[in-house]
Amino acid sequence: MAYATSDDYTAYTGQTVVPDDIDRRLERASERIDELLFASIYPTDDAGMPTRAEDADAMKRATCAQAAWTLAVGDEFGVAAAFKSVSIGSVRLERGGSGDTQPARYCPDSSSILQRAGLLPGYILDGGVW
């Protein structure tokens, strides 16, 4: 179950035209938000949805941010950033960087929204090793 609807996405982004598959993208973004919320403690109903309005609002905004980010970077599954170059004819793939770092999986704004709402138990470190 997604934390946001297509109407929420439109209101959050200010975009009047949304992708035809926005509901699926919001479901996928909600999965990423669930990963961020792992080990977080907040009250839920029997369906596992947050019962406090402020928690639900933060999760909705974080989901919209995650969906917008994956659309903006064109990498819904977090795999394109792993390659510096990709060719289709004669198939040529070239890994970006040293190959030691994972592509980003989470939108920085999403983790920031959840952090400020007090829903994250710690810090999210996503991307390159430092």
Per-residue pLDDT tens digits of the chain, which is 130 residues long? 899 999 999 999 999 899 999 999 999 999 999 999 988 999 999 999 999 999 999 999 999 999 999 998 876 766 555 555 555 677 665 655 555 556 678 899 999 999 999 998 766 555 554 4
Instruction: Mention every residue, 6+ apart, whose C-beta is less than 8 A from residue 109.
Output: 62, 65, 69
The answer to the question of residue 125 being in a domain is no
Q: Which domain holds residue 81?
A: 6-116
The answer to whether residue 127 sits within a structural domain is no
Please report whether residue 121 resides in a domain.
no
Q: What is the pTM of this model?
A: 0.78
Give how far the C-alpha of residue 48 lies from the chain's centroid of Cα atoms, to the nearest Å: 19
How many domains does the chain contain in total? 1
35 within 8 A of 111, measured Cβ to Cβ:
no
Give a yes or no: residue 61 inside a domain: yes
- The answer to whether position 130 is within a domain reads no
Give the pLDDT score at 39. 87
Tokens representing 45? 């109903």
